[in-house]
Amino acid sequence: MEIKKLGIIGFGQMGAGIAQVFAQSGYEVVGVDINEALMTKGLKGIEKRLAGRVEKGKMTPEEKEAVMARIKTSTNIEDLKDCDLIEEAVPEDLELKKKIFSELDRICKPETIFGSNTSGLSITDMAVATKRQDKVMGMHFHNPAPVMQLLELVKTIMTGEETIETVKKWGATLGKTVVVAPDVGGFIVTRLFTPFLLGAIRMLEAGIATRDEIDVSMKLAVNHPMGPLEVVDFIGLDTELSIAESLYEETKDPKYAPPLLLKKMVTAGWLGRKTGKGFYEYK
């Protein structure tokens, strides 16, 4: 099947970035979110990033307008009905994602392929919420989606070969490098990276080093562009907690157990950049 029209459900931090990737690659995009204000914020973010590209001479003002014109937004899930591929980027909550997929399954044509941007939840569980289990895959974009080069695809034991081949080819049209991972908790990236991030929180919690000592050390010693605590602020502490909880539940491996400090900060509403406060403060 030829993929022409794309849908995104959940137009938050990741959804808006992914919409930009899709539209910049020439696709028509429909973005759906239940929160109109967040959708407006997402569109403004896209506009700002594209304006930055125009300023740097990487894009003409006309190209910027054409990209913006390819993105339509709506609060009505029914507006996704004629999309060829839909990427879900709602919060990291398996029950919510299953509900979304079951609703999309009812609305969309039978050929539509469904993708999930989950950081590590079970794609198999999402697929069985639909009647098109061969057409559901993980399609894990990384943050910020317009910048990060990797597209981590996740196949379940039910994903059809035709779906995998179609999605791999489509991923290349987005200018991304595609890897295919099996449906195990956290896939490749989150499974490896999460113990490192949680370890940094535990180190802070135990008083072994300060926030700045941890972040500066990892930036200067390992050449990471951001320290681990900056990264957790960037991801969102709520998202990081959900990731840790689901990985711990699946593996029972203590390296995935969420640190108490992370839980307390989420309870306090300190979710990182998106709320203006996490391990750092943001204006």
Ligand X SMILES: NC(=O)c1ccc[n+]([C@@H]2O[C@H](COP(=O)([O-])OP(=O)(O)OC[C@H]3O[C@@H](n4cnc5c(N)ncnc54)[C@H](O)[C@@H]3O)[C@@H](O)[C@H]2O)c1
- Residue with Cβ nearer ligand X (36 or 162): 36
Starting from the edge strand earliest in sequence, which strands make up the sheet with 150-155, in order? 71-74, 28-32, 5-9, 85-88, 113-116, 136-141, 150-155, 177-182
Residue 116 host element (H or E): strand 113-116
Other C-beta atoms within 10 Å of 164: how many? 15
Tell me if 35 contacts ligand X by CB under 6 A. yes
Tell me if 76 contacts ligand X by CB under 6 A. no
Stretch that binds ligand X, among 6-14, 129-137, 168-176, 247-255 (CB under 6 A): 6-14
Please compute, for residue 263, the number of CA atoms within 13 A of its CA located in the half-sphere on the CB side.
6
Q: How many residues bind ligand X (CB under 6 A)?
A: 25
Q: CB of residue 160 vs ligand X: minimum separation in angstroms?
A: 23
Using the rule CB under 6 A, which residue among 89, 151, 167, 244 binds ligand X?
Answer: 89
Q: CB of residue 72 vs ligand X: minimum separation in angstroms?
A: 15
- Residue with Cβ nearer ligand X (81 or 160): 81
Tell me if 38 contacts ligand X by CB under 6 A. yes
Tell me if 8 contacts ligand X by CB under 6 A. no
Tell me if 226 contacts ligand X by CB under 6 A. no
- Residue with Cβ nearer ligand X (35 or 173): 35
Q: CB of residue 193 vs ligand X: minimum separation in angstroms?
A: 10
Task: Round to whole Å and give the CA distance between 198 and 61.
Answer: 42
Q: CB of residue 206 vs ligand X: minimum separation in angstroms?
A: 25
CA distances from 250 to 1, 4, 137, 171 (A): 35, 36, 19, 28
Tell me if 33 contacts ligand X by CB under 6 A. yes
Place of tokens 């009905």: 81
CA angle at 229 for the pair 250 and 15, rounded to the nearest 5°: 65
Q: How far is CA 200 from the centre of its chain?
A: 22
Stretch that binds ligand X, among 85-93, 155-163, 200-208, 219-227 (CB under 6 A): 85-93
Using the rule CB under 6 A, which residue among 1, 26, 34, 182 binds ligand X?
Answer: 34
Tell me if 236 contacts ligand X by CB under 6 A. yes
Stretch that binds ligand X, among 78-86, 117-125, 156-164, 203-211 (CB under 6 A): 117-125
Task: Round to whole Å and give the CA distance between 11 and 8.
Answer: 7
φ, ψ (nearest 5 deg) of residue 157: -70, -10
- Residue with Cβ nearer ligand X (2 or 95): 95
φ, ψ (nearest 5 deg) of residue 252: 55, 25
- CB distance 115 to 167 below 8 Å: yes
Using the rule CB under 6 A, which residue among 6, 7, 8, 9 binds ligand X?
Answer: 9
Residue type, position 52, single letter: G
Between strands 28-32 and 5-9, the pairing is parallel
Sign of CA dihedral 120, 125, 94, 166: positive
Stretch that binds ligand X, among 21-29, 50-58, 90-98, 199-207 (CB under 6 A): 90-98
Contact positions vs ligand X (CB under 6 A): 9-15, 32-35, 38, 89-92, 100, 117-119, 142-143, 235-236, 239
